[in-house]
Structure 1
């Protein structure tokens, strides 16, 4: 398939379009293919891809239909789980089967999710706000004003990893291990993160051993206010298998890291590309409240979620058969102009900024969505008190992934 962006997307035969190719995300040309599918074939069947045959659901309301009909579309790992790449789900041939609550259906999903949800209850978020602000301030104060540096490493990764270490009560000086394990979890060999399935497995087993020590420390203590204590003391999760424990830990690491981290970088890029919006923000800093969900929509840090049909059904005039792989492209749904006004534009004062798909819907709606928004809000409040602008020096280097829509590197210069 040609990767030349607009012309190829507009002219190639529909049955040749395969939006799962990671390269299209790496070179940021996939949007043109989604635009074509939304217009000409919103429920699109790709018969042949590196990940097998699959359906692409590209329009907002069709995605909502799939995301909220759990009796027809399953997330259970037994059927294939939640990402298009079965290899990552299974960890290759001799892989790791790591069940976790996002890749479960009811009732097990609800029981396990409930064990960790107190961490993001309003009272706990309020208690965390001061810690987050202190750490964001310290990170921003350490930036070299007027010099080039990598925003991804110095700010996005640093702040989200500090936050994760706090939520897990993880040894703070070793927090970058969490970043590494997050990257390894969503990586397939050859994308620049791991060389082989064996390397991936070895690193994830190191993660398992590390977290087993933390579990053993906390299971015999009074319940603490961190995620591991919550898992260790909840009746729904205290008797998990080691695989299930690791699966849930990795889910929480990726959920708490990749998404927020890439929105922190995406927001800087969006405002750099839209100086009129940055001027609007500086004139009225209260617009941070509506800008944060707009960043999350515009970035769409997880490009897709996958389901498996467990019954035949009709959608968009097509028959989806039992056993078919169904991919909800959140990134495409967030660009659907039938639902979102001028969706290609970054507009920080939209009247309904939370009208987006980035957190999912139904029982699998992101458990940490309010925490993610709070971290982004605090980051931008603190940026506005320190810097007149953040200049992006070159096009960022993106991640080669059809799942995490993120950045490996973005060189910037901050101005006092």
Structure 2
């Protein structure tokens, strides 16, 4: 297909009608048009370690099967996260660096500085707050008309919790979601449609806002006040990250990483869970009949949704995978969205089965040293959301096909019109 046709959002062709070598899994239209499933199925079956010679993001290897992805993700010595974990490379005018794009020991030092924000005692302390907030959100939803679930529920809850985790001004919380979208939405990074000018302005605003907050935390600590357990306080007070503001690329990169990590998994899993219960109504019946299945359903949804479609690595030496020679310096892309639908490991992977055995055995949080730091917080928010939904509503009807994010990295929804059926009183 020509670039002009793609720009017009023309329907994508049947992947089985294309030469295998021409299948480009980095095309963001695969995801915004929800056509990715058949494309990955063909590549998994016929060429699971797939070389893309030409793309807007340069040449790269696609790793599409579950076990191969685990092999790459757990071998950081051969498959390095440096210099970046998205398929594209950052614009030189907006340099970024963060700990997920680092190898040990620096990765370990910077991750350790913020790890305690999601320690079990902090998660336990957050549970009542999450329940209170999601309850208030759900109680204020309209029940006499359709509305956008993404903006009214998914984005609202995640912005509130991000403000708490960062101790960010609550009245400005929606900036956090916007900055997350700008951080991942550049055409050169993910095929997104954020302009360079808008993205530069947004990230500049983010750095200035958090810089002022950082200075407040520093002054408070130096005045002898107790150190908070928010992310900024933890980074500012840790010896390994205290000087991060003197390294602007790292400061910007780590802020963006933590915001994206706290936003996208929860936000798109909450939206995806509503869509799943519409596409698999018998599973919704099962859930209503037995709410104790919610924790297992949460893991199943996070697998089925796969909020971040890929992570990239770079080979540090010549190596072999799946019978293919990957050369030193080659870009290697682990497609979590494909591995989570790998029939070789997961039975009926395209189906949502809320009581699936070993539902937590999925790729959405990654493996190895870069496994998602906030996975338990994301699971907890989704669990509490559904506990509160079932108390209030008999049904959430998706009224039309949702609009999906135009990105090969963030796999999610930009809007989803729904209508609620309250429980009979």
TM category (shorter chain) comes to over 0.9
Aligned counterpart for 1:85 among listed residues 79, 84, 88: 88
> Cα RMSD between the aligned structures?
1.3
CA contact (8 A) 1:74 1:309 kept: yes
Give 1:231's aligned residue. 235
Deviations 1:297-316 (A, max 9, x none): 00000000000111110000
CA contact (8 A) 2:184 2:192 kept: no
Matched, 1:51 2:57: yes
CA contact (8 A) 1:84 1:306 kept: yes
Deviations 1:354-377 (A, max 9, x none): 010000000000000000000000
Give 1:18's aligned residue. 24
1:219–1:180 Cα change, 3 Å: same
CA contact (8 A) 1:115 1:234 kept: yes
CA distance in 1, matches of 2:376, 2:198: 34
CA distance in 1, matches of 2:216, 2:331: 41
Aligned counterpart for 2:266 among listed residues 260, 265, 283: 260
Deviations 1:100-139 (A, max 9, x none): 1001000000000000000100011000000000000000
What TM-score, normalized by structure 1, do the two folds share?
A: 0.95
Give 1:194's aligned residue. 194
Gaps of 5+ in 2: 3-9
Matched, 1:203 2:202: yes
- CA drift of 1:189 comes to 4.7
CA contact (8 A) 1:183 1:193 kept: no
- CA drift of 1:192 comes to 7.0
Gaps of 5+ in 1: none
Matched, 1:119 2:117: yes
Write out aligned runs for 1:374-413 (5 A): 374-413=380-419
CA distance in 1, matches of 2:341, 2:177: 29
CA distance in 1, matches of 2:372, 2:69: 15
After the TM superposition, which segments of 4 or more aligned residues of structure 1 sit over 4 Å from their partners?
2-5, 189-193
- CA drift of 1:8 comes to 2.1
Give 2:218's aligned residue. 219
Matched residue count: 406
CA contact (8 A) 1:184 1:193 kept: no
- CA drift of 1:193 comes to 5.2
Deviations 1:3-26 (A, max 9, x none): 755x62123111111110001110
Give 2:7's aligned residue. none
CA distance in 1, matches of 2:316, 2:302: 31
Secondary structure at the aligned position of 1:220 is classed as helix
CA contact (8 A) 2:193 2:406 kept: no
Deviations 1:204-225 (A, max 9, x none): 0111001000000001223111
Matched, 1:327 2:326: no
- CA drift of 1:246 comes to 1.9
Give 1:314's aligned residue. 320
CA distance in 1, matches of 2:166, 2:296: 29
CA distance in 1, matches of 2:281, 2:144: 19
Secondary structure at the aligned position of 1:347 is classed as coil
